[in-house]
Amino acid sequence: MKERLNLKQNLLIGSLLFGLFFGAGNLIFPVQLGQAAGSQTFPATIGFLITGVGLPMLGVVASALSQSRSLFDMAKPVSKAYAIFFTCALYLTIGPLFAIPRTATVAFEVGLRPFIPEEYISLGLFVFSFIFFALTLYFSLRPARILDWVGKYLTPVFLALLSVLLLATFVKPMGKVGQFPPQGNYISQPLFTGFLDGYNTMDALASLAFAIIIISNIEKLGVKRPNLIAKETFKSGLVSIAGMTIIYASLAYMGVTSLGSVERAANGGLILSLVSEHYFGFVGQVLLAAIVGVACLKTAIGLITSCGEMFSNMFPKSISYQKYAILFTLFSFGIANFGLNKIIQLSVPVLMFLYPLAITLIILSLLSPFIHKEKAIYKWTTGLTIAAAFFDLLKALPELPGINVVTTSLVSWANAYLPGFQYGFGWVVPSLAGFIIGFIVKNMKH
């Protein structure tokens, strides 16, 4: 039994981590962050990197340390019912509710929207998303070697083109970072706002779902002990961390400097398209659109496959994988036609609720060698986190006629009594209190 991987194997696992976490959809958020943060881009980017890069890596390490073979196993110390709820909620979020529809809308925003008159945008999105999801379903139902080919050749081409575009923004900047004032919450709290913006990548949630892929690959290379797997995951993750940090920071820089040459845009996909046109004209715009489109298609196929397999395995007596694949594809098609901006807006309340639960589960799993998956600690910590995170969900809800008075009063109460709530961290103190209560209850039992 091996105790460590060699350098080549670490690089191999690191590239696998990078491939899992960095999708074409992730391009849009740091670019938009740059445009909104303006002169505050640096602290905002630091916050974004914590949740967009650091947390996903900790999620995989935590899964290895806790010896979990799935997200269900990881959450099971809370209770079986909670493990089912959290697993389903997480997979639906990184699947048909938000992440899969987002792949189609990102491809549309980058590829076709700049060429379509405003009055035909809805029709264009409908036709494009229909073709996109027809292809997605075809490949999801018929796993083929074309996916391996796309993964093997598309990612390097995609990164090469992106590198050229990023290099152009440094060699010939469109503007200077300091000349553009920040907007919204970036004015007073850029670090915390960037931290919350990192939720949009959904990578920390994905890390809990896909950690087993990394763990099983390290085991195949000969490392078997959980603490050694966690160590090798962290070492290999440095490759992924470095790559994603450079790309995210560069994209944020692209976003803020773009204000010198292109107008503010409603989403990062449109910004990316405008920047590509600015530097390389029509040809560059079309080439980027094609590569982002295929990358998004590959991501959609992978997510449909993963979600279909998870639900068919968790509920084997219900419906088959093929029927889940069809159901998730049709649902994703419907959601995609709300448009990218609406999908992002609708996803925020859900992410504000799920991320505190994911973060506390990661921390508890990291501590599992010391707390030994003690149920009392898991139950109390998670229970109080759920209660506090519910207020974050309410705060992030869009205007809803009829219940707005109720939500406003509840949010006002949370703002008054939950420390850090105004920054999006009202769950921290309740989670810590739950951990302490759980620890006391555990010791009282023994």
Which conformational region is residue 379 in: left (phi greater than 0), alpha (psi within -120 to 50 degrees), or beta? alpha
pLDDT of residue 348: 93
- 186 and 264 together in one domain: yes
Distance CA 315, CA 204 (A): 25
Q: What is the mean pLDDT of residues 138-148?
A: 69
* Whether residues 387 and 307 fall in one domain: no
Is residue 436 domain-shared with residue 337, that is, in the same domain?
no
Q: Span 273-281, mean pLDDT?
A: 91
Query: What average pLDDT does range 33-47 have in this prediction?
Result: 96
pLDDT for res 400: 62
Domain stop point among 301, 330, 346: 346
pLDDT at 402 > cutoff 60: no
| 280 and 423 share one domain | no
Task: Read off the pLDDT of each residue in 408-418 and give the average, rounded to a whole number.
Answer: 92
Residue 143, pLDDT above cutoff 70: no
Q: What is the pLDDT of residue 446?
A: 62
* Domain coverage including residue 226: 7-346
Residues 208 and 245 in one domain: yes
Q: Residues 94, 235: one domain?
A: yes
> Is 90 within the bounds of a domain?
yes
Q: What is the pLDDT of residue 74?
A: 94
Query: 371-389: per-residue pLDDT in tens?
Result: 989 999 999 999 999 999 9
What pLDDT was estimated at residue 152? 64
Please give the pLDDT value at position 397: 87
pLDDT top residue among 22 and 310: 310
How many domains does one find in the chain? 2
Mean pLDDT of 226-233: 88
Residue 13 lies in a domain: yes
User: Is residue 22 a part of any domain in this protein?
Assistant: yes
CATH value at residue 93: 1.20.1740.10
Verify that 316 and 407 share a domain, yes or no: no
pLDDT at position 15? 82
pLDDT band of 148, cuts 50, 70, 90: low
List Cβ neighbours of 238 (8 Å cut-off, separation of 6 or more): 14
**pLDDT higher than threshold 70 for residue 147:** no
177 and 141: one domain? yes
Whether residues 380 and 339 fall in one domain: no
The predicted pLDDT at position 331 comes to: 96
pTM of the model: 0.91
Average pLDDT over residues 34-40: 96
| 54: pLDDT strictly greater than 80 | yes
Mean pLDDT, the chain, rounded, equals 90
**Average pLDDT for 116-121:** 92
What's the pLDDT score for residue 415?
93
pLDDT for the residue 432: 97
Confidence bin at 145 (pLDDT 50/70/90): low
Please indicate, yes or no, if residue 367 is contained in any of the structural domains. no
Q: Does the residue 365 lie in any domain?
A: no
**pLDDT of the residue at 295:** 80
> Residue 213's pLDDT is what?
83
Least confident of 13-27, 194-208, 232-246: 13-27
Quick one: pLDDT at residue 107? 92
Do 304 and 396 reside in the same domain of the chain? no
239 shares a domain with 277: yes
**Residue 423 in domain:** yes
In the chain, % of residues over pLDDT 90: 60
Same domain assignment for residues 82 and 170: yes
